[in-house]
Amino acid sequence: MLIESERRIPEAGEYDVVVVGGGIAGVAAALAGARNGAKVCLLEKMFGLGGLATLGNVIIYLPLCDGMGRQVIGGIGEELLKLSVRETPDAIPCCWREGGGKEERKSLRYQVAFNPASYMLALEEAVVGAGVDVWYDTRFCEVVKSGEKIEWVLVENKSGRLAIKCKAVVDASGDADVCARAGEEMISLRTNVRSGWFYYSKGGKVELNCLSKGFDPLGGKMPEDDFAYAGDRGKDVSEQVLETRKLIREELKILQKKYPDFRIEPILPPTIPCLRMTRRLKGRIELNETDDHRWFDDCVGMTGDWRKNGPIYYLPLRVLTAVKTTNLITAGRCISANTAWDVTRVIPTCAVTGEAAGVAAAMAAVKTEGDISKVEIADLQMQLKRQNVLLERQD
Ligand SMILES: Cc1cc2nc3c(=O)[nH]c(=O)nc-3n(C[C@H](O)[C@H](O)[C@H](O)COP(=O)(O)OP(=O)(O)OC[C@H]3O[C@@H](n4cnc5c(N)ncnc54)[C@H](O)[C@@H]3O)c2cc1C
């Protein structure tokens, strides 16, 4: 163990809301925060927004509906779906466009496939246009707390170590990095496999290969070999990336053998580790699969189940809020979801929790000195409804 010597860290800014992570959850949180009057900065260690959705080539915006014809996600969740196919709006199924057939909606889900490069550019335009300060190449490192409140967020970028003063923080890092540093109770799963969706050219035609070794989304079956990663330890992350790249090289050889008449070349491997469920907050409550159709009075959004038709999950604020830190809230794939983790981690649901977290953090920053528990739930729900978030209880 090395003891780091004490040093002075320059203050690099002061914000109402600091959002850590520029994936879909972080983008939604930043947009929602800025639209609700907060001064927001978005910290992203890579050089593009969208996280797994864009840099990981995960190009399917899973459904906004319950599979029975009912739309369960509106607000920024729907706005970001439309933005993902801004240049190709025909990608939206006819029945889900304005005036579309209600009967058809029961058999066709409201989802799209998008171009990750277009989407990354569009997300950046939207976030910057909303007045959010985007800090690329900036890694969240540490928090400085005073009692139960985060006063400073410490980051590192080309300028070295910097301190950002904040009123509220949204942890949209995907791996609950802020929660871990803030001393929250965490859950970490070693359930990630070698996985990397990559684009390749087959005789000049661009194709996507959804490479995942050993992942069975319905059964949650783990690989029988040693390739299983938690994704919240430095070495583990590098190993996952290195082994996945090896697999991609092997896959390209297999494709070349399969299509000898075509020239097979890689176009774009993922540029971010493709890890599904790594580390998450253990909140006051945890969302479970058995919570299907269970109403919560602090509901801040809804989601369907991408894997099957029928289920609806109401998302309570308590699965987002930290336990030991009053001004910290999570969004995206690191919220407090237990057996429902496979449902809450997907793109549309990350947008829903991002929007809720962003509004709650902005309201807290403006009205309650950052204390999210003091935000009136009725005010928060009313504001979310004004933003077209779907929150209606259905028995
Ligand atoms: C192989 C695979 C296939 C999938 N398929 C689908 C699919 O078809 N459809 C679907 O809807 N979902 C799919 N998913 C799930 C979905 O893509 C993700 O769970 C979702 O996009 C997560 O969004 P997020 O914003 O919570 O996190 P992420 O996308 O992980 O974003 C987190 C962001 O935070 C940044 N970050 C992390 N730590 C720090 C730090 N310390 N400092 C600064 N920045 C930081 C990261 O660089 C990243 O940009 C898939 C996932 C995988 C891995």
Which residue is closest in CA terms to ligand 1's atom 41?
140
Mean pLDDT of 139-167: 98
For residue 228, name the pLDDT band (cuts at 50, 70, 90).
confident
Which sequence spans correspond to the domains of the chain? 11-189+278-386, 195-268
Least confident of 205-214, 219-228, 262-271, 338-347: 219-228
Nearest ligand 1 atom to alpha carbon 197: 1
What is the share, in percent, of the chain residues with pLDDT greater than 90?
Answer: 91
CATH number of 11-189+278-386: 3.50.50.60
Residue 151 has pLDDT above 60, yes or no: yes
Which residues form the pocket of ligand 1, taking CB atoms under 6 Å from any ligand atom?
20-26, 43-46, 51-53, 56, 58, 60-62, 139-140, 172-175, 177, 195, 197, 212, 272, 274-276, 332-333, 345-347, 350
Assess contact for 187 and 363: CB atoms under 8 A.
no
What is the pTM (predicted TM-score) of this model?
0.97
d(CA 198, CA 122): 21
Choice from 156, 189, 195, 347 to test ligand 1 binding pocket (greatest atom count within 8 A of CB): 347
Tokens of 67: 């599979």
β-pair type (205-212, 312-316): unpaired
Answer yes or no: are the C-beta atoms of 123 and 301 closer than 8 Å: no
Burial 275-301 (b: 16+ CB within 10 A, else e): bbbbbbbebebbbeeebeeeebebbbb
What pLDDT was estimated at residue 182? 98
Expressed in angstroms and rounded, the spacing between residue 57 Cα and the centre of ligand 1 is 10
Say yes or no to pLDDT of 51 above 70: yes
CA distance 179 to 183: 6
- Average pLDDT of span 325-342: 97
CB 123 within 8 A of CB 26: no
Residues shown for the chain? 395
**312 SS3 class:** strand
